[in-house]
Amino acid sequence: MSDAIQVPKAELHCHIEGAAPPTLVNRLADRHGIDVSSVLDGNGKFVWSDFTTFLKAYDLASSVFRTPADYALLAETYFRMLAAEGAIYGEIFISPDHAQATGLSYRSYVEGLAEGMERAKAGTAIEGRMIAIGVRHFGAAAVERVVKEVIGNPHPLVTGFGLAGDERSGHPANFSKAFRMAAEADLGTTAHAGEFGGPDSIVAALEFLRVRRLGHGVRAIEDKDLVRRLADEQIVLEVCPGSNIALGVYTHLRFHPVNMLRKAGVKITLNADDPPFFGTTLGKEYASVAATFGWTFDDQMEVTRTAIEAAFCDDATRKRLLVRLDSARQIPGEGG
Binding interface with ligand ADE (CB under 6 A): 15, 18, 58, 164-165, 192, 195, 243, 273-274
Non-local CB neighbours of 269 within 8 Å, separated by 6+ positions: 10, 11, 12, 13, 236, 237, 238, 239, 303, 306, 307, 310
Non-local CB neighbours of 54 within 8 Å, separated by 6+ positions: 48, 247, 274, 277
The residue at minimum Cβ distance from Zn ion is: 273
Q: Please identify, using beta-carbon distances, which residue of 31 and 168 lies nearer to ligand ADE.
A: 168
Of Zn ion, ligand ADE, none, which one sits near residue 127, judging by CB under 5 to 8 A according to partner kind? none
C-alpha Rg value of the chain to the nearest Å: 19
Q: Phi-psi region for residue 217, left (φ > 0), alpha (ψ -120 to 50) or beta?
A: left
Among the listed residues 15, 12, 3, 4, the one whose alpha carbon sits nearest the alpha carbon of residue 275: 15
Among the listed residues 279, 285, 278, the one whose alpha carbon sits nearest the alpha carbon of residue 54: 278
Contact (Cβ atoms closer than 8 angstroms) between residue 312 and residue 91: yes
Residue 115 annotated among the catalytic residues of the structure: no
| Strands (DSSP E) found in the chain | 9-11, 87-94, 127-135, 158-164, 188-193, 213-216, 236-239, 267-270
Among the listed residues 114, 106, 100, 36, the one whose alpha carbon sits nearest the alpha carbon of residue 71: 114
Q: Please identify, using beta-carbon distances, which residue of 15 and 305 lies nearer to ligand ADE.
A: 15
Q: Please identify, using beta-carbon distances, which residue of 137 and 224 lies nearer to ligand ADE.
A: 137
- Least distance from ligand ADE to the Cβ atom of residue 207, Å: 20
- Least distance from Zn ion to the Cβ atom of residue 295, Å: 22
Distance CA 169, CA 166 (A): 6
* Sign of the torsion formed by the C-alpha atoms of 241, 244, 245 and 247: positive
Among the listed residues 21, 155, 15, the one whose alpha carbon sits nearest the alpha carbon of residue 93: 15
Of ligand ADE, Zn ion, none, which one sits near residue 165, judging by CB under 5 to 8 A according to partner kind? ligand ADE
Residues 193-212 that bind Zn ion (CB under 5 A): none
251 burial via Cβ count (<10 Å: 0-12, 13-18, 19+) = exposed
- Least distance from Zn ion to the Cβ atom of residue 215, Å: 5
| From 195, 207, 238, 285, the catalytic residue | 195
- Least distance from Zn ion to the Cβ atom of residue 55, Å: 11
3-state SS, residue 136: helix
Q: Strand 87-94 to strand 127-135: parallel, antiparallel, or no bridges (unpaired)?
A: parallel
Contact (Cβ atoms closer than 8 angstroms) between residue 238 and residue 213: yes
Site size toward Zn ion, by CB under 5 A:
1
Residues 255-274 that bind Zn ion (CB under 5 A): 273
Q: Please identify, using beta-carbon distances, which residue of 240 and 287 lies nearer to ligand ADE.
A: 240
Q: Please identify, using beta-carbon distances, which residue of 191 and 307 lies nearer to ligand ADE.
A: 191
Of ligand ADE, Zn ion, none, which one sits near residue 11, judging by CB under 5 to 8 A according to partner kind? none
Q: Please identify, using beta-carbon distances, which residue of 13 and 305 lies nearer to ligand ADE.
A: 13
Q: Please identify, using beta-carbon distances, which residue of 37 and 169 lies nearer to ligand ADE.
A: 169
- Least distance from ligand ADE to the Cβ atom of residue 276, Å: 12
- Least distance from ligand ADE to the Cβ atom of residue 319, Å: 31
Of ligand ADE, Zn ion, none, which one sits near residue 3, judging by CB under 5 to 8 A according to partner kind? none
- Least distance from ligand ADE to the Cβ atom of residue 145, Å: 18
Catalytic residues: 195
Name the residues that contact Zn ion, by CB under 5 A.
Answer: 273
